[in-house]
Amino acid sequence: MNIKRVTLHITEMKLVFPFATSYGTYRERESILIEIEDMDGCIGWGEVVAFSQPWYTEETVQTSLHMLREFLVPSLLGRTIEHPSELPQLFSNVKRNRMAKAGLEGAVWDIYAQHKNQPLAAVLGGVRSDIEVGVVIGIDTLPRMLQQIERYAVEGYQRFKVKIKPGYDSELLQGIRQAFPNLPLMADANSAYTLQDKDQLKKLDDFGLMMIEQPLADDDILDHALLQKELQTPICLDESIHSLEDARVAITLGSCRVVNIKAGRVGGLTEAIRIHDYCQAHHIPVWCGGMIETGISRAQNVALAALPNFTIPGDISASSRHWEEDVIIPDITLSDGRVPVSSVPGLGYKVNRKRLRNITMQTIVLEN
Ligand code: OSB
Ligand code: MG
């Protein structure tokens, strides 16, 4: 394939419900939706999952736009590509900026799968026809969090993740456990603790959590290993894993027993598959993380989670979890706690152009 045009749609969507993490609260979500067209007129879609502020990783919407316009898109335009896995090499003169790279690579995977006349999941190596999914509950008062858990349990979600932060952890988890003793429950700290909080974190062992996600800083792989030695609860790493190399170091040191894979955080689907394969070979289960993304990235996540070592329900909630109206047709929906893996060639969903127009703040067209 040969890409002749790249359109960057900068969008903003309002969340149906504010979403709070240990970093802060989200009410709107700014995104970059990437549309690419090849010489055959085939169109592919990808999404840059960077946020407006650099709190989760160092990337933002604006830094991603800069990298895409000045470096990544120019290196792709007019180039003949046999396979999307060539992109990391093509982009190797740009250090890091993984979410920007992943957005473009996702769009190339969509076109590649369409040319192969296969669903995205199949070309990625997926083996499932549907996936079990979980949901994330942002930090709120205990009664409101319980209410949300109740509602999502009725909707069929299979695993519940709550955000915690120092000062709002054991009391909260105790309250949840009292109401739901057998709930498949885990907690995500988004790097809010340090090793000094070890004794407090050890108390969380009492709540039968499936795992605790990213308790310490993103560059604290060593401290996570020291912490995991003291905890019964498995540690899952999110922010710490930017690459296969990070996964290799973390698993070798015993820093985690589970890995959260997000294609955006690791630079694209190619690297995500490599991490998946490495974890599988080392008996480390993985699950697919979420980024409060639109249906484009969500659909890609469903395809990725069809790979065999995604054995834990991920943060791949239905479109309705965050959006009044998604940008894709059909919506991502649950039936019996599962989301079907699309059997339509490519990403398997259509972009709703009318909805896209309504949420677009800026459009940038780049072509040869
Ligand atoms: O740490 O997994 C995370 C959302 C934004 C940034 C980081 C994280 C999250 C989530 C997923 O927890 C929430 C969702 O997409 O529903
Ligand atoms: Mg996380």
| 363 alpha carbon – ligand 2 mean position (Å) | 30
* SS3 (DSSP) at 199: helix
Closest by CA position to 21, among listed 47, 48, 53: 53
Long-range contacts of 144-152 (CB under 8 A, 24+ apart): 145/172, 145/176, 146/175, 146/176, 146/179, 146/180, 149/176, 149/179, 149/180, 149/183
Q: What is the pLDDT of residue 206?
A: 98
Contact 255, 222 (CB under 8 A): yes
CB distance 238 to ligand 1 below 6 Å: yes
Q: What is the pLDDT of residue 155?
A: 97
Contact 53, 45 (CB under 8 A): no
| Check: complex ipTM more than 0.95 | yes
Strand partners, 48: 32
Q: Which ligand is nearest to the CA of 292?
A: 1
Residue nearest to atom 6 of ligand 1 (CA): 291
Residues tagged active-site:
163, 262
Q: Has this prediction a pTM greater than 0.90?
A: yes
Residue nearest to atom 5 of ligand 1 (CA): 291
**Which residue ranges in the chain fall short of pLDDT 50?**
none
With tokens 């169109």, the residue in question is 43
> What residues are designated binding site?
188, 213, 238
CB distance 216 to ligand 1 below 6 Å: no
CB distance 292 to ligand 1 below 6 Å: yes
Residue 336: other Cβ atoms inside 10 A: 8
Atom of ligand 1 nearest to the CA of 190: 1
C-alpha to C-alpha distances, 334 to 157, 195, 316, 331, nearest whole angstrom: 8, 39, 10, 10
Q: What is the pLDDT of residue 326?
A: 98
CB distance 138 to ligand 1 below 6 Å: no
d(CA 73, CA 366): 8
CB distance 246 to ligand 1 below 6 Å: no
Domains and CATH numbers, the chain: 3-117+353-367 (3.30.390.10), 122-340 (3.20.20.120)
Of 165, 315, 320, the one to substitute when testing ligand 1's pocket (max ligand atoms within 8 A of C-beta) is 315
| 188 alpha carbon – ligand 2 mean position (Å) | 6
